[in-house]
Chains A and B, each alone.
Chain A
């Protein structure tokens, strides 16, 4: 079995299995803990506070006017590289074909030249994010191995993908194998670190929003 066959065959299967089981366990583990009932009389009817939760899922995507001066730039940087990543993962034609083989659904992609530009921009934003994490005293204090390793492994996928697309540094098959192996590594790491926030972000916003709306408070 050559490297490429392993990367997209057995390697990928193992990675997907670890990813699925790990994510399931991380989520199931919450369900095993106590869920407390709130006996305090809500100010708002249930539909209103559920709606408050849904609204917060969207509204928390951007800081409130009162905070924007202090956090707008940092949040814009954060969202920009996420958008770049989504575009590269979901709108690059070879990725669409690959995802189509897994899920049976395909969609139109962007031209390779556009994806390359987005990738380079995203790469730049990634470096900016790392620079910010090590230079901002709050972020540096909060950061641990998980933050840096999650950054590294996501960056690795991006860099190897760019190298494979540009055919730089080795044979295409080798570059592609390395790229897919980096994806395998990312999938394996995913349930063990902060990348799990992809699954947490919307429920977390919805819960906090609903609990505040239950009191009739601003969310």
Chain B
């Protein structure tokens, strides 16, 4: 029996609540207000959420996760706010209430956006949850693991300390796998960044990226001062930190005159850079932001990339939420797999409707969320098993790490692999795989 008891939250001090609600109120634009007002309390969003599906616990209903913020908006900023306050229809959000919601906004939400596809009113519930995380951060209620990593990344560029700095680690990976790691070149077409998950856990994926780019003959570089793709400010809800962390990459891309900022397999980095960074920057970015998957699919279409047939047998693909559902990179992975003649057996829920791996939104890093995460993951693992595929491929390192963790936890018989590495090992004329 898996214990999914809710951890006892530490109440936030009253002034933190005021700060949180202030932060939230500052963020309320017309669009968010419209979303909050449009809810008809039908509860249908629960049926899209894997936390609710796995537990049947109503508190995991996505729109319920923003309830205190809806309450605060209606009381403070809505069209009827004076009436709500005068008659006491909407009470002030309390410190206890907000502390209770930490579990709902962080431990039990991957920010995967599946709920935004089911709402009959068309509300983007996931966008509201992201805004609510900002308010929780302001209240000092971001989970410690996310807060600490965000603080560390904001300060140093790395989410955590490492035995050797990532720059050196990158060069070591190059030596280990026998690939040239382009570093700190002054002027290039493409600037590369990688998830620290790859640097720490999947060095073969870093080597695969370097190998593929070298094979294509693309003028590219990593930059010592802008290596890490992830943005823990985004996970933790710290908007200013998110901006500053994004700015490291933006400044480096500008410095090397890159036309493309290429994000390796990291879904949340893609959301943070492709769909949010320009807003935080305050103007359009002077370069394109692409995921490595869509970049390679474009190279394939242009005839620059030739791939050999894969021999991996029956394969299924996990669509990372941030790339596919929230990012629109739907066809690119399938085009690459088709070119390699992958025997693809789609999951029952795939493409935009895929279930999250369970680790997204920083949940993989939150210790107290683990029991519930494992319970929720069973929805996904069952679907994967039902395909009968022996191989699971994905295009996001955090998804890969989550599945690896599941393999260890459940003694699951599948090992997730990377689409990028699959491409790198099937380059025609590229020699041995990394």
Contacts and interface: CB of A to CB of B under 8 A. Distances in A.
Interface of A: 25-26, 28-31, 33-36, 38-41, 43, 56, 60-61, 63-64, 66-67, 70-71, 74-75, 78, 136-145, 147, 192, 194, 196-197, 200-201, 203-209, 211-212, 215-219
A60 B120 contact: yes
B279 A39 contact: yes
Tell me the dominant secondary structure on chain A's binding face. Answer: helix
Contacts of B285: 39-41
Interface in B69-126: 77-80, 83, 89, 116-124
B385 to A, nearest CB: 18
Contacts of B353: 64, 66-67, 218
Interface stretch (B44-52, B368-376, B414-422): B44-52
Contacts of A61: 120
B121 A218 contact: no
B37 to A, nearest CB: 7
Interface string B335-355: 000000000000001011100
Contacts of B118: 63-64, 67, 71
Nearest to B279: A39
Given A138-B58, A141-B59, A218-B325, A204 B41 contact: no
Contacts of B63: 142
B35 interface: yes
Nearest to A203: B34
Given A36-B31, A67-B118, A201-B120, 19 more contacts: A34-B28, A35-B31, A38-B279, A40-B278, A60-B119, A61-B120, A63-B44, A142-B64, A192-B80, A192-B83, A197-B40, A197-B121, A201-B121, A205-B121, A207-B31, A212-B328, A216-B329, A217-B325, A217-B330
A74 B275 contact: no
B31 to A, nearest CB: 7
B121 A75 contact: no
Interface in B264-296: 274-279, 281-285, 288-289
Contacts, number: 163
A137 B58 contact: yes
Contacts of A147: 41
Interface residues of B, number: 63
A43 B353 CA distance: 20
A70 B30 contact: no
Contacts of B8: none
A71 B328 CA distance: 25
B43 interface: yes
A136 B58 CA distance: 9
A209 B78 contact: no
B327 interface: yes
Nearest to A201: B121
Contacts of B324: 217
A138 B53 CA distance: 12
8 contacts: A33-B28, A34-B28, A40-B284, A41-B288, A75-B120, A204-B35, A215-B326, A217-B325
A26 B33 CA distance: 11
Given A39-B279, A137-B58, A200 B121 contact: yes
A40 to B, nearest CB: 4
B43 A139 contact: yes
A39 B31 contact: no
A142 B43 CA distance: 7
Nearest to B67: A142
